[in-house]
Every structure is written in C-alpha cells, then in structure tokens.
C-alpha cells in the first residue's frame, strides 16, 4: 500500500473506527514534532473541558510555549492545508507510522536485487520457478522473508501500545497496573532481522509480569457482571416503583461502562500479540502464491 488517505481508509477498518485511528495518528505526530526535545517527559492528557483541543495544552520546552492540537477526519471531499503535510511527515520522517496506519512498505527493484538470493535460501524446496510468490499485503511478504520492514512492523506494535498506555494513565484509576505494564513493555528489546522470532514471546512475557493484576481484573469483571444483571432485573420489575426502576437502569448502564473499561485493560497485552498467521509467516509455513 501507498501512504495516502485511500490506503488509510482501507487499512483502518476496525472496531474503534477510522476517526479514532486518525486522532491516534495525529497525536503521535504532534508529540514527535513538538515534544521530542523536552527533557521532562509529559503525557498527552485528553480533557473534555478543553473544547476544540484533543488534549490539554502542553509545554514545548524547545520553543518555550504552551501548545495543543485539533484533529478531525473527513471522509468526504474536503481539502485542508494539512492534508498532504501529514502524509509528507509520515513518508519522510516517521516510516514506522506508515507501517502501522497505512500498511506501507516500499519495495523497489533495488530491494529485489539485494534480497533475491536471501529469499531463495529461505524458501529452499518450497520455491518453484513456475510460480510467483506474493501476498495481498506487503507486510506479509516482509514477515515471510525476514527483511528490515518486518522488524519495523513488529516493533511498531510496542510503540502503539505504549502510546495507548500513556493515554490511559490519565483517565484510568488502575494506574499501578498501567505503570507496571508500561515498564514491562518498555523493557522488551526491539527485534531486528536476526531476532524476529523473539517477538512471539512478547505477549507471554508481558502477561506473566502482570498476571496478578489480570487475575484481579477477572474477578472484578465477574462481580460487576453479576451486579449488572441484578440491576437489569430490578429495572424490569413492574412491582417496583418507577423511580427505583429508573435508578436501577442508570446503575445498569454505569456498570456496563465499568465492565468495558476493565475489558480494555485486560486486552492491552494483546496489542503486541503475534497472530497465528503472523507466526506462520515468520516460520515460513504459509504464503499466498499466484501462478505466472
């Protein structure tokens, strides 16, 4: 894929939605461009009281100013001055964001020349001159042949998770868990073309380090679900007074929100999990092939 808004829209159809992904992308660009020179690390804290700003204003030590940013994604034909500026930043300065948000890998003739012998060695008997080996997404090809882009793709999983943890630290009461998770993920060494397989152990390593927290969340989750069910039954009980039923319904929705928050915390380690398909590609077990 190329770094353009069509690729962005295609690559980011998940449960959170494309607008949230765009805001995540802009948040990372804002921090990279304006806060990388700060000696004191500062988190970007989203505050609904700051109208028209995605986060609270934050101090830029280099330029000695307080700054903030606004980000909106338009899926219609709206031309903005920042349209190509965002794409140019990613192309020229932050290729790892291109990997994560656009599925972008630059594969040119020089690349193929450099890697041909390596690819054939990796494929061994699986290589057949009557077939052309390729994948729908070039990141799968990178994982299969173990090139530099594969390492960037995998390491980007950690970067994105750490960004999400940083954001949650300001709006979650489970800060002990988040700080521990941040510590463990930060300590995971980046992989390179020689150590790509090490990424397969990331998820189990992290889960082991925060196992007590996850167990406690599981118990809390069960209790909240039981209480939510009780409140729902109460809200539907026609023998109860209307006010009591309305209060029960409010509590039901409040408990649902707490359950969703815990689900987010429990699933955080999964952000760096290597999927079964990714494992198969790393081990060279599968690759889509097209006949010439």
Q: Strand, helix or coil at 126?
A: helix
Please tell me whether residues 82 and 217 are part of one structural domain: no
Q: What domain count does the chain have?
A: 2
| Same domain assignment for residues 157 and 84 | no
For residue 120, pLDDT beyond 80: no
Percent of the chain whose pLDDT exceeds 90: 29
pLDDT digits (tens, 9 = 90+) for 22-67: 777 777 787 777 777 777 656 566 655 555 666 777 777 888 888 8
Is 92 in the same domain as 217? no
At residue 103, the pLDDT reads 62
State the residue range of the domain holding 152: 108-292
Which of 41, 75, 104 represents a domain boundary (last residue)?
Answer: 104
- Bridge-based pairing of strands 58-60 and 289-291 is unpaired
What is the pTM assigned to this prediction?
Answer: 0.52
Q: What was the pLDDT predicted at 132?
A: 37
The average pLDDT across 228-238 equals: 89
Same domain, 135 and 274: yes
Residue 15 has pLDDT above 60, yes or no: no
Same domain, 210 and 241: yes
Q: Which residue has the higher pLDDT, 66 or 161?
A: 161
Average pLDDT, the chain: 76
Distance (Å, rounded) from C-alpha 221 to C-alpha 143? 36
Question: What pLDDT is attached to residue 136?
Answer: 37
Bigger pLDDT: 123 or 162? 162
pLDDT in tens, 68-92: 777 766 655 544 445 567 777 777 7
Residue 116 and residue 90 share a domain? no
Are 184 and 282 in the same domain?
yes
Residues 77 and 122 in one domain: no
* Whether the predicted pLDDT of 16 surpasses 70: no
Average pLDDT over residues 110-117: 43
Residue ending a domain, choose from 55, 76, 104: 104
Burial 55-84 (b: 16+ CB within 10 A, else e): bbebebeeeeeeeebebebeeeeeeeeeee
Q: For residues 238 and 187, what is the distance between their CA atoms, to the nearest angstrom?
A: 56
In this structure, of 26-35, 204-213, 281-290, the range with the lowest mean pLDDT score is 281-290
Q: How confident is the model at residue 45, as a pLDDT? A: 62
Contact yes or no for 150/143 (Cβ under 8 A)? yes
User: How much is the average pLDDT of 122-150?
Assistant: 61
pLDDT-derived band at 110 (thresholds 50, 70, 90) equals very low
**Same domain, residue pair 126 and 268:** yes
Least-confidence region, from 55-64, 154-163, 174-183, 242-251? 55-64
Contact 272, 161 (CB under 8 A): yes
Question: Are 42 and 123 found together in one domain?
Answer: no
Q: Are residues 121 and 90 in the same domain?
A: no
pLDDT value of position 21: 76
Which residues have CB under 8 Å from 21's CB, separation 6+? 8, 12, 14, 101
What value does the mean pLDDT take over residues 224-232?
91
pLDDT at residue number 211: 94
pLDDT at 146 over 60: yes
Within this chain, do residues 58 and 203 fall inside the same structural domain, yes or no? no
Domain end position, chosen among 58, 84, 104: 104
């Amino acid at each position: 894929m190329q770094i353009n808004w069509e690729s962005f829209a295609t690559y980011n159809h998940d449960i959170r939605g494309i607008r949230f992904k765009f805001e995540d992308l802009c948040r990372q660009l804002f921090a990279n461009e304006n806060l990388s020179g700060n000696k004191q690390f500062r988190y970007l804290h989203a505050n609904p009281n700051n109208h028209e700003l995605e986060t609270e204003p934050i101090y830029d030590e280099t330029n000695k100013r307080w700054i903030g940013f606004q980000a909106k994604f338009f899926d219609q034909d709206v031309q903005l001055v920042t349209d190509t500026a965002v794409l140019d930043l990613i192309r020229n300065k932050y290729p790892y964001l291109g990997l994560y948000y656009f599925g972008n890998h630059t594969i040119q003739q020089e690349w193929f020349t450099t890697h041909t012998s390596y690819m054939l060695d990796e494929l061994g008997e699986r290589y057949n001159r009557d077939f052309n080996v390729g994948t729908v997404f070039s990141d799968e090809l990178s994982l299969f042949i173990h090139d530099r882009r594969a390492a960037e793709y995998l390491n980007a999983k950690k970067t994105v998770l750490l960004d999400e943890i940083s954001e949650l630290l300001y709006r979650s009461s489970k800060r002990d868990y988040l700080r521990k998770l941040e510590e463990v993920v930060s300590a995971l060494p980046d992989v390179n073309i020689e150590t790509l397989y090490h990424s397969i152990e990331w998820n189990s390593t992290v889960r082991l380090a925060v196992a007590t927290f996850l167990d406690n969340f599981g118990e809390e989750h069960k209790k909240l679900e039981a209480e939510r069910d009780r409140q729902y039954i109460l809200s539907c009980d026609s023998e109860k007074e209307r006010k009591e039923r309305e209060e029960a319904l409010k509590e039901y929705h409040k408990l649902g929100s707490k359950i969703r928050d815990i689900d987010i915390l429990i699933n955080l380690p999964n952000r760096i999990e290597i999927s079964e398909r990714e494992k198969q590609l790393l081990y060279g077990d599968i690759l889509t092939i097209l006949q010439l």
